[in-house]
Structure 1
């Protein structure tokens, strides 16, 4: 091991040095070995060091009968250490992977609890990191996945820290025994049908028997891959800066990139840049599903290809890529009378419209394009709406939801399109806000 158990407190303190000025350290406390040792270490350090306010949170999933006794156990441990404990009960959504669903439920609570300048501390250690790497390796992960669990990442409005990632399980066990700590053994930790337990009990012992330093070596590999991923992220930012050009449809408020600069890159660089761009927007596609990107790029010039992803769609239109989700994927309801044009009109699944300047005389209604509409332009006579939209390179997905203002059968205005959006001589314009601000970035 090279490091004795007695220096565990000072190593932990060193790992937490950057967060000594946080408002609050909250330990995710399952009652198992790792979080029990972490909580004990911190409670004892707090007696001699000036640390942020310390508390613990126990998430009760209620997935197995044994778990019903755990909140009480956690409460007595915290009472003995003088640490306040919050017990949160969650409902786990049944689905394909119970492990994943339980984790999602846990992290939803962690996110909601963690305020700005709060730190959430979890007890994962070096053996967990090695198991994570092997597990992801078996699932064909890329550099990002094989970089393992990061020492820190954002959670809620604060930061999640894993301060024990450089400590082995055997060191934690030795500490727990030396201090006569009592912890919960989760029966499911022995169940070999869970991949992680299989790796922990069957595979790891064989590897470490042959290569005693296996876990430390794997942690080192993870660090190299994390550095490589950092370089890939920097490259993505360079490539995305070239594609994030200004355009005349900024008012749509949609994530958008110019296609030509991306298409000029090698395929691997395209994928790297796009993954980086899509990551905050959707769950990323697996390797097989990336063919959808090739189809999007290769489609004929006049085609309107769509790549459907887990949480939305990527459209190609007017020389750009557009990310559509939420209301943008719902077909707006045909239209409605505008009874009081002096105030904004809410449109089902399509934001709202309003006038600036004078309001034109009625009766007015707002509708959407059906095909065949004609508009009278003083200086140009009657023109097909389709042709007017083509002239302005309006993206295809916008055309069916651009609010059109009618008086009777006469098309008076097309919202937001300069020259078509109102009447110069009567001094009014029709404005469309495609999404309600209160939706934020949902």
Structure 2
């Protein structure tokens, strides 16, 4: 194991190497080996332990991990996973997703997170995927490397048997935690590990090796499919960044369209849906009327259509029903993760006013920020007044996003601005600087909607 890791770090040394450390035998062996190579390979080493809070002894396990890292002189980080299980949801899948989120948030640009999955884990992963009816991407099981947040997830031990890791741990007299949940046969992976795989090895002693080899073959096939999909994606791109064109996607043969959809969703950070939902997308969604609003949802993703564009986005939050008061002096944090509004003086006003630096923000009358207000009109200088619905349509804002666009009103209820879409009301005069209303950090900025800067003049 040491030699394998030494060769890996000789090829490339990350800015920081994080070890996912559960306290079990496998991760303890990996952490110990990395610590032995720290000086030789110039590693900046950290360990990260995640307490899922699912076992009454999880607190003592965390203390054990902290003590081991202290003894090894390894920088230790501990995080609590928040897991809320709903009806029919897999506890294994929820815990895995929680870990991935925490890991991704810890990594810096270029950092590596190494995990201790081995050949036996790989074989179990392929069998689970096979029993779920997965395609070649699922049967490829766990890749040796994959992107994770701003860094990379690396599995350096996939070619080693679990017995080799245990032999290393015993040789170095390591002390590890045995999680009793690993014996619980109600978990699919445990059933495979303790009952199915031993039976397979009785008949085929090299079962784990040959199953893992099949995963490698599937990974090659998946890479070829992804390469073909990558060639097609620019040809079926939609009008908005990160979208697909309904018309262009409809011209592809079904098998190519499915491959393109899966690849596009992966690039957007979402899991691909099952075959039934894919067929619903290719059938009902693509064939819907242009003015329809079809939606297909699965696993923290909503696929929606607006005109000719397909969008993949996280589930929309509850519609904000709040009203916020704002004087414009400080940025305003919006509810439901909708970002922030701020007012600033337009820097382009400086030359026209003969100023060397932008003027100070003038006094602005108190305003209100509301959402989804009906009956409003936007009155712009030298333009006819337009109803809010017409304004949204003109700017290509889908009906399903309009309730989340902040509306800036004066105390009389007149519309001053539609954040990122249009300024309404009076214009500025040469003695009054133009104000810039910025809508920062909203969830849909990647689609190119709502240019976050617009100008309007104070009263």
TM-score normalized by the length of structure 2: 0.71
CA–CA separation in structure 2 for the residues paired with 1:409 and 1:71? 55
1:372 shift after superposition: 11
- 3-state SS, counterpart of residue 175 of structure 1: helix
- 3-state SS, counterpart of residue 14 of structure 2: coil
2:294 — aligned with what?
A: 305
CA–CA separation in structure 1 for the residues paired with 2:415 and 2:442? 31
1:263 — aligned with what?
A: 250
1:146 — aligned with what?
A: 139
Distance 1:66 1:227, change over 3 A: same
Quick one: which of 202, 218, 226 aligns to 2:219? 226
Residues 307 and 315 of structure 1 are in contact (CA less than 8 Å); yes or no, is this contact kept in structure 2? Answer: yes
* 1:288 and 2:276 aligned: yes
2:76 — aligned with what?
A: 86
Output aligned runs, 1:5-404, within 5 Å.
8-19=1-12, 21-46=13-38, 49-80=40-71, 82-86=72-76, 88-95=78-85, 96-246=89-239, 255-279=242-266, 280-293=268-281, 294-311=283-300, 313-323=302-312, 325=314, 370=374, 395-397=398-400
TM-score normalized by the length of structure 1: 0.74
Distance 1:27 1:206, change over 3 A: same
1:52 shift after superposition: 0.9
Unaligned 5+ segments in structure 1 are: 1-7, 248-253
Tell me how large the CA RMSD over aligned residues is: 4.6
Distance 1:406 1:85, change over 3 A: closer
Distance 1:347 1:34, change over 3 A: closer
CA–CA separation in structure 2 for the residues paired with 1:76 and 1:412? 59
CA–CA separation in structure 1 for the residues paired with 2:161 and 2:175? 19
CA–CA separation in structure 1 for the residues paired with 2:368 and 2:105? 43
Distance 1:212 1:399, change over 3 A: closer
1:244 shift after superposition: 2.2
Distance 1:371 1:139, change over 3 A: same
CA–CA separation in structure 2 for the residues paired with 1:166 and 1:414? 57
Residues 239 and 309 of structure 2 are in contact (CA less than 8 Å); yes or no, is this contact kept in structure 1? Answer: no
Q: Deviations over 1:27-47 (max 9, x none)?
A: 222232212222332333346
Unaligned 5+ segments in structure 2 are: 353-364, 447-459
CA–CA separation in structure 2 for the residues paired with 1:334 and 1:64? 40
- Rg comparison, structure with higher value: 1
Residues 347 and 353 of structure 1 are in contact (CA less than 8 Å); yes or no, is this contact kept in structure 2? Answer: no
Distance 1:430 1:295, change over 3 A: farther
- Across the two proteins, how many residue pairs are aligned to each other? 420
1:436 — aligned with what?
A: 440
Residues 369 and 406 of structure 2 are in contact (CA less than 8 Å); yes or no, is this contact kept in structure 1? Answer: no
CA–CA separation in structure 2 for the residues paired with 1:339 and 1:69? 51
1:144 shift after superposition: 1.8
